Amino acid sequence: MTDAGVTDRAGPLRRARAEAEADIRELTAAMESLRRTRESSSDDDEHDPEGPTLSSEWSRIRGLLTAAESRLGDADAAWARVENGSYGTCLRCGSAIPPGRLEVRPTAAFCVACASVH
């Protein structure tokens, strides 16, 4: 019976994890197609007006991908806490993390007070 409660509470976390995974898939595909565009236009480096645009686009996507991967890592870590029963409990002081905070930040590992000190 407590299981159902934990599963419900973990709903936003499940969504956050699914979103991070979807983002990673999309961004990986975007990098792949950008890489192909780059390769096909590399014959014409000096006169390629898209050159600088492509590399800034590349670093933008790379940054988003890194962020999405770290979100997925946070979600996995939070998911491990769901499984061992410590989800929703502050890792630092052990007090309960308010449900409202978990709604907004499903991967939160600290209560508001500890997160601001952390």
- State the residues that interact with Zn ion by CB under 5 A: 90, 92-93, 111, 114
Residue 17: closest CA among 50, 6, 96, 25: 25
Q: Which is nearer to Zn ion, 68 or 87 (CB)?
A: 87
Residue 96 C-beta: closest distance to Zn ion, Å: 9
For 102, how many CA atoms within 13 A lie in the half-sphere containing its CB? Answer: 21
Q: Which is nearer to Zn ion, 67 or 93 (CB)?
A: 93
Residue 115 C-beta: closest distance to Zn ion, Å: 8
Whether the CA torsion 43, 45, 48, 51 is positive or negative: it is positive
Q: Which is nearer to Zn ion, 29 or 93 (CB)?
A: 93
Strand partners, 89: 96
